[in-house]
Amino acid sequence: MGCGFAVSVASVSPMEPVIHLRGAVGLLGRFPALAGIDLTVDRGEIVLLQGPNGAGKSTLLRLCAGLLPVAAGTATVLGVDLVDDPTPVRVRVGLLAHATFLYDKLTVLDNVRFWTRAARADESDAARAMERLGVAGRLADVPVARLSTGQRRRAALAVLVARRPELWLLDEPHAGLDQEGRDVLDALVTEAAAAGATVLVASHELDRAAQLAGRHVTIAGGVITEDATHVP
Amino acid sequence: MFRDAGLIAAKDLRIEMRSKVTAGQVLPFALLLLILFAFGLDPDGPALEAATPGLFWVGVLFVTVLAVERAFAIEGGDGVRDALRLAGLEPGGIFLGKWCALALQLFVVEMVMLGGVVLLYGRTLNGIGLLLATSVAATCGIAAAGTLYGVLAAGLRVRETLLPFLLLPVLAPVLIAATRAFESALDGVPSDGWPWFNLLAVFALVYIGVGILTFGSLLEES
């Protein structure tokens, strides 16, 4: 599994906060989501987002990815004003969501290549990311539809890693992964942060995620109720 | 933009090569339509001969609805539409790529249908230059409008039933112009058909232009 592939990021922003939200409210369809989020995250931080189901964790991640319109407040991610135009930030973030973002009919290799080329990332990174995630070799030529949940998750992670995002947005990243996959994921997150990426992890697996994150943010009812720094 | 278009077109065609939906379902449906039209209008009678151009293009429009639904069904997979928005691809490039892949598949289906017209209806393909030029221009316009209305309907729960209602009326000018051009090529004077070809070319250019300019907004809304 370990092939010497080091996680890197495409570019690193200056010292301004990577995420800067003030009273941010997103729009889910026609309805407001989140109740005014105040959050500042600096470069290289790994932040755990915790909270009950429906608290707004996934919505916050989607808002930071530039996928939700900002209905109220201010929101700047990677120096991009999301209220003005969120599109420039999208290619600079890597979102691992409940959905895998993969084409079922294409093979793992086709998928990773396609999304890597779309992001104008280095294709050699795609191959190395697949090796690192254990989806190279025999699995590379298997259509995604025939993969297990965990293998799809690994393939989705390979896409994320190969795109070399500056901001990793991980929604329940350990779900569906076996022990080995979880270890690889944790190592990748740590390496990404060391390389200058910023990581936001929404998780219910608090023991696991808490070991990664130096900061734990609790969200409930669409607002942040606790923000504490921990020593991982 | 053209780089992104190539990426999307290659991906769509690769998915078609793997899934064989056009080859295995759309193409047989097109040939079935030709056979059913022949049953309905007496294959040896004058009615079928006179109606062949119109039947051909009505068949193409039905096939288009299937092909457009398929083209956007593959983007409706596991969060793929969000992934496209995150990918950093130019919306105009996505439109051109999907248009190109759809047009290629439709053109292949039309050529097989033309073969069916020769074999099943016993027609001779006079004015082959006009026939081919009409097919190319009409296909470009149909695919452009199909791609535009396909993404519009893609995010809706009733897309399967809504798409024909949205798309078929818009394609009425293509049906009329392509039918007249085919009539001129098959049964009349081919030179009479070229003005209809010009109309088809204008339709295609307008819809390609509108598609490039508006696809991004439609993708955001879908």
pTM (two decimals): 0.86
Residue of A nearest to B81 (CA): A101
* pLDDT grade for B157, boundaries at 50, 70 and 90: low
The residues with which A224 forms a beta bridge, in sequence order, are A219
Task: Judge whether A31 lies within some domain.
Answer: yes
The domain locations on chain B are: 2-221
Count of beta carbons in the 10 Å neighbourhood of residue B35: 12
Confidence check: pLDDT of A13 > 80 = no
Q: Is 70 exceeded by the pLDDT of residue A43?
A: yes
Average pLDDT of the segment spanning B31-58: 86
Domain that holds residue A177: 19-229
Is the pLDDT assigned to residue B36 strictly greater than 60? yes
Give B174-219 as a 3 state SS string.
Answer: HHHHHHHHHHHHHHCCHHHHHHHHHHHHHHHHHHHHHHHHHHHHHH
Q: Band of the pLDDT at B4, cuts 50, 70, 90?
A: very high
Confidence of residue A127 (pLDDT cuts 50, 70, 90): confident
Mean pLDDT within A12-38: 82
The shortest CB-CB distance from B79 to any of A90, A93, A97 is to A97
Q: Is 90 exceeded by the pLDDT of residue B208?
A: yes
Given a contact cutoff of 8 angstroms between Cβ atoms, the answer to whether A33 and A59 are in contact is yes
pLDDT value of residue A6: 57
pLDDT at A1: 41
Min distance B18 CA to chain A CA atoms (Å): 7
> Is residue A175 in some structural domain?
yes
Length of chain B: 222
Q: Which of residues 108-137 of A touch B (CB under 8 A)?
A: 110, 114-115, 117-120
Report the pLDDT value the prediction gives residue B201, as an integer from 0 to 100.
96
| Number of folded domains that form chain A | 1
Is the confidence at residue B176, as pLDDT, over 50?
yes
Residues on chain B touching A120 (C-beta within 8 angstroms): 88
pLDDT of res. A143: 93
Inter-chain contact B85–A99, Cβ cutoff 8 Å?
Answer: no
Please check whether residue A12 lies inside any domain of the structure.
Answer: no
Is A221 among the domain residues? Answer: yes
Question: Of the candidates B7, B18, B88, which has its C-beta nearest A105's C-beta?
Answer: B18
Of the residues B12, B14, B78, B222, the best mutation for testing chain A's interface (the one with the most A CB atoms within 10 Å of its CB) is B78
Res. A7: pLDDT tops 80:
no
Q: What is the pLDDT of residue B143?
A: 96
Task: Determine the average pLDDT of the residues in B9-34.
Answer: 90
d(CA B200, CA B172): 11
Which chain A residues contact residue B85 at CB under 8 A? 67, 90
pLDDT in tens, B112-148: 999 998 888 888 888 899 999 999 999 999 999 999 9
- Nearest Cα neighbor of A42 from A76, A21, A15 is A15
Average pLDDT over residues A185-212: 86
Q: Which of A6-10, A16-20, A121-125, B87-91 has the lowest mean pLDDT?
A: A6-10
CATH code, domain carrying A167 = 3.40.50.300
Q: What is the ipTM of this complex?
A: 0.81
